[in-house]
Amino acid sequence: MNTTIPLGRCEICKGKGVIQGIFHRMECAGCHGAGLVHESTGEALEPAVMVGQLRQRLGGVEGVIEQQRQQLERKGLAGAAKDYAGQNNKRHRGGGNWTGD
Distance CA 100, CA 13 (A): 42
pLDDT (average), residues 33-45: 93
Q: Residue 94's pLDDT is what? A: 57
Distance CA 96, CA 88 (A): 6
Q: Regarding predicted confidence, which is higher, 21 or 38? A: 38
Least confident among 48-57, 59-68, 74-83: 74-83
Residue 45 one-letter amino acid = L
Show Cβ contacts of residue 4 under 8 Å, excluding neighbours closer than 6 positions.
53, 56, 57
Residue ranges of domains in the chain: 7-75
> Closest Cα to residue 30, out of 40, 41, 43, 21?
43
Which pTM was predicted? Answer: 0.60
